Chains A and B, each alone.
Chain A
């Protein structure tokens, strides 16, 4: 099939349309974040008067810095625990024969489909009586639980692909079990674990409903939740600029992940769903 210039132009046009549509809302919020307060009510797409003021503003108020720290801390801790527990379970699912395996997978699936809002009312009450309300662990625990199904799915799909005979081969060549694990299995398992960690972290970073329901102050409120209750750095300023700048700041890690790990993320998102 020879490709004609017309075909090329057609695909090029389609590519461009997809890329532009995907990026316009992001570019709009970037543009708003650079607009000067005097021109922020101007509907032009490109700022008339540029300013860094919105960014320096949000980084001078603990209303944003504290939630940003919460988001990073809660996200990293929840991701770490989730991936650790999920790897153990996924290893068992992929390699061992034991009754109850299907129950575990069915349960993970149920939890992946679970409506978070059903948890809000009971969790609110339970966490208040346990003293977990408005604390880091109060968010980390549910995030771990909802990261687990994702982790078990993705990791067991990855673990099934690992040629485990290599472990035996390494042992025959005189490697100790520890060496066989660190030199042979761990490097093979690492890509799957990185992918899973990214997906779980994105979930924690993005989560909103529990973040606003199980917190009441900036002690544990994460960035997206803080954004929704943002009132600007002075009571007279319109918060549009500040909110936009904060929205851009919390989008940056995602752009970085996407740029560096595009292949991994795509593989991770589709592995569990299609292979089964």
Chain B
């Protein structure tokens, strides 16, 4: 959105019948000026809060900058990156994050689809199901995380009492499973709502026609509904994968990253507030940013997820 490039990017406005740039009418010029003016405040805030800090983080990541010794800040090139990438903590955190992301998104896709079908097809009580599932979506993650933590506290929690042996939150595998459970409970409703919107795009006639032709319910689902829902599924997966990759709140409350359960976000936070090392912390920030960019790129280019909004014309 740089206004300085206006003579070049003007092509889109003029992309009517005439490809070559005709002189814009007074009205059209006023319209684009108003458009830019209306967007400017939003753009300025978004750039100030994201692009600028990220650029600053890139700069910090190339420096040795320890908050305990701020006077010894010094340009050291890519040493912070090699320090992070050769550290077992980074790879452990990345592995935990990947496991949480893949398992929770996969389970959520299945459960979300079931829930979407339920909300879309159920014969009665549609409103009450929709209202109820918005509670997990809306609830403060930290509040829900405390509920899960107390539920699994040995001899105090109902889940520990029901399944209990020992303290599950102090064992890596069990703790990660509980983190995944908390994530799934919290975000399946969001997945279900996106999928339900996709379901509503499947024409009822098509399903009826398939039924007349003798397709079973399962065949109708896999051969009619699913292919038509593909765009909605990909968008839901993209949003949830990126969201799951950033997992922080649940882990912070449930285990605080102890017993090798920390995600990359936890690692970035810890590095700032316990190690007080801005250089390393910034390198971690940039690496996480790159991971997210790769995931988004894979979804959009690899699977052809039509990102909402990019085809504004619709």
> Interface residues, chain A, CB within 8 Å of chain B?
3, 7-8, 11-12, 14-15, 18-19, 21-23, 25-26, 28-29, 32, 40-45, 85-86, 88-89, 91-93, 96-111, 113-126, 141-142, 144-146, 148-149, 152-153, 156, 202, 205-206, 208-209, 212-213, 223-225, 227-228, 240, 243-244, 247-248, 250-251, 254-255, 257-259, 262, 265-266, 269-270, 272-276
Contact = CB atoms under 8 A, between A and B. Distances in A.
Contact of A145 (B46, B139, B141, B312): B46
Contact of A11 (B28, B122, B249, B296): B122
B309 A40 contact: no
A145 B49 contact: yes
Among all A-B residue pairs, the 3 with the closest Cβ atoms: A98-B35, A145-B49, A247-B143
Interface of B: 1-2, 6, 9-13, 28, 31-32, 34-36, 38-39, 41-43, 45-46, 48-50, 52-54, 56-57, 60, 115, 118, 121-125, 127-136, 138-144, 146-148, 150-151, 155-158, 160-161, 185, 189-190, 193-194, 196-198, 201, 232, 235-236, 239, 242, 245-246, 248-249, 252-253, 264-265, 268-269, 271-273, 278, 281-282, 284-286, 288-289, 292, 296, 306-312, 314
Nearest to B306: A276
B161 A28 contact: no
Given A109-B307, A240-B150, A273-B236, 5 more contacts: A12-B124, A15-B125, A88-B41, A92-B34, A99-B32
A39 B125 CA distance: 37
Nearest to A274: B197
Contacts of B38: 88-89, 91-92, 96
Contacts, number: 344
Contact of B158 (A45, A126, A228, A258): A45
B1 A18 contact: no
B131 A14 contact: no
A85 B262 CA distance: 37
B193 to A, nearest CB: 5
Contacts of A243: 146
B143 A227 contact: yes
B190 A11 contact: no
Residue with the highest number of chain B CB atoms closer than 10 Å, among A209, A254, A273: A273
Contacts of A123: 49, 53
Residue with the highest number of chain A CB atoms closer than 10 Å, among B118, B147, B185: B147
A125 B249 CA distance: 22
B138 to A, nearest CB: 4
